[in-house]
Structure 1
Amino acid sequence: MLGSIVQVNVSRGGVPKLPVLEALVGETGIDGDEVAHPEVHGGPERALCLFALERIEALAAEGHPIAAGTAGENVTIRGIDWDSVLPGSRLRLGPDVLVEVTRFTTPCTTIRGSFRDRDSNRIHHNLHPGWSRAYAMVIHGGTLRPGDTVELLEG
C-alpha cells in the first residue's frame, strides 16, 4: 500500500508543529524538533508522531479547527489505510526511513485548540478507534521530504 508524505512538522516545543522542506530523522526523532513535556512525549519508542491527512480532513469537516501539524504530528501522510496502521506495523517513509508503530497516542491538552469543543479526546483511540495519531520508533533513519512515498509494509 503506497501513500505519500504531505508535511514534515517540527516545533521548539508544543503546537502547532510547522512544516519544513526536509528533516533528518534519527533514533530519537527529527533533528530540531522539541517536545514540551519529554517525560510524556519523545524518546526512542515515541520518536515520531504520525497522523493521516484523511482523518484531519474528516475532523475539519465535522467543524474542528484542525490542520496538518496542529495535532502535534511530525509526519502527516495520505493515501494509507489508517485503520491498518496498528502497533507493530512498519512503514517506509521516503527512500531511507523505516519506522515501527509502537502505540496509539493519548491526546494531550496542548492540542485542545484543534477541537471546536476543546475536547481532544475526539482522537483518543479507546473512545474512537481508528482516529488516533500513532507513535513510532525509528528502525533506520534518514531524510524526509514532503512528497516522499509512504509504504505500509506487509507483516
Structure 2
Amino acid sequence: MPGQVTAVSRHATYSFSKPNHDAVTLLAGLGVEGDVHAGRTIRHQFRMTYEPEAPNLRQVHLMHEELFDELALKGYDVSAGGLGENVTTRGVDLLGLPTGALLHLGDEAVVEVTGLRNPCSKINDYREGLLGEMFALDPVTGAFTFKCGVMAVVRRSGTVRPQDTVRVELPALPHRPLERI
C-alpha cells in the first residue's frame, strides 16, 4: 500500500519552521519553488560559509508524521512544518530507505533520497529538550539512528499536495544505508 503526503511546507526566508501550503512545486535539480533552501549549490546557512560551491543534496526535507505521534506521547506538540520539513508523509518508512531510493510524490514529482537530516541544536529552541528525542540508540548494534527525516534532490518536477500518494522505488542492490548529510 502506498504512503501518503499529509502536508507540504515552504518558506522564502531562513526560519526554523515552515508554514503549510495547499501545494508546493518541486523543480528538478533545484528543490521547492519559493523555498530558501532551493538551489543547485548548498543553501544550508552554516554550511554555505565553508563550502559554498558544494552540490545541494538537501533540496527537499521529508519527515514522517509518525514521529509527531511518538513525540506527542512524550509531551511534545509538533506539527507539520514545525521542524522545517517541506513534505510530511504517513505510511512510508523514510528512515529505513536506502540511499538513492526514489519517491514518487503524486502524479508527477520524483525525488531521490540522499541521506538523513542531521539534527541541529535549533530544535531545542523550537521545544526545549526536543533535540534529545531526535536520536535513538539501537540496543543490539549500539548505532545511533537520526529520526528527524531524510533529505532528497528533485529528479522530476511536479506539484505535490496533501493527500497525494507516495510510492517508493528502491535502487538496484546492493543497497547503501542512509548517512547524515
Provide the aligned C-alpha RMSD in A: 2.5
Question: Equivalents in 2 of 1:124, 1:86: separation in Å?
Answer: 18
Q: Counterpart of 1:136 in 2: which secondary structure?
A: strand
**Off by >3 Å, runs of 4+ in structure 1:** 35-44, 113-116, 124-128
2:149 matched to which residue of 1? 133
Paired-residue identity, %: 29
Q: Which moved further from structure 2: 59-68 or 142-151?
A: 59-68
1:33 matched to which residue of 2? 35
- Deviation at residue 40 of structure 1 after TM alignment: 3.5
Q: Is contact 2:6-2:88 (8 Å) kept?
A: yes
* Structure 1: gaps (5+ residues): none
TM-score under structure 2 length normalisation: 0.74
Question: Equivalents in 2 of 1:15, 1:138: separation in Å?
Answer: 22
Matches within 5 A, 1:50-61: 50-61=62-73
Matches within 5 A, 1:1-155: 1-11=1-11, 12-26=13-27, 27-35=29-37, 37-40=44-47, 44-117=56-129, 119-124=130-135, 128-129=144-145, 131-155=147-171
Larger radius of gyration: 2
Change beyond 3 A, Cα 1:85–1:121: farther
Aligned length: 154
Q: Is contact 1:106-1:124 (8 Å) kept?
A: no
- Deviation at residue 111 of structure 1 after TM alignment: 2.5
- Deviation at residue 72 of structure 1 after TM alignment: 0.8
Q: Counterpart of 1:66 in 2: which secondary structure?
A: coil
Q: Is contact 2:103-2:166 (8 Å) kept?
A: yes
- Deviation at residue 69 of structure 1 after TM alignment: 0.9
Q: Counterpart of 2:57 in 1: which secondary structure?
A: helix
Q: Is contact 2:119-2:134 (8 Å) kept?
A: yes
Q: Is contact 2:95-2:116 (8 Å) kept?
A: no
What letter corresponds to residue 87 of structure 2 in structure 1? V
Q: Is contact 1:10-1:33 (8 Å) kept?
A: yes
Change beyond 3 A, Cα 1:38–1:29: farther
What letter corresponds to residue 129 of structure 1 in structure 2? T
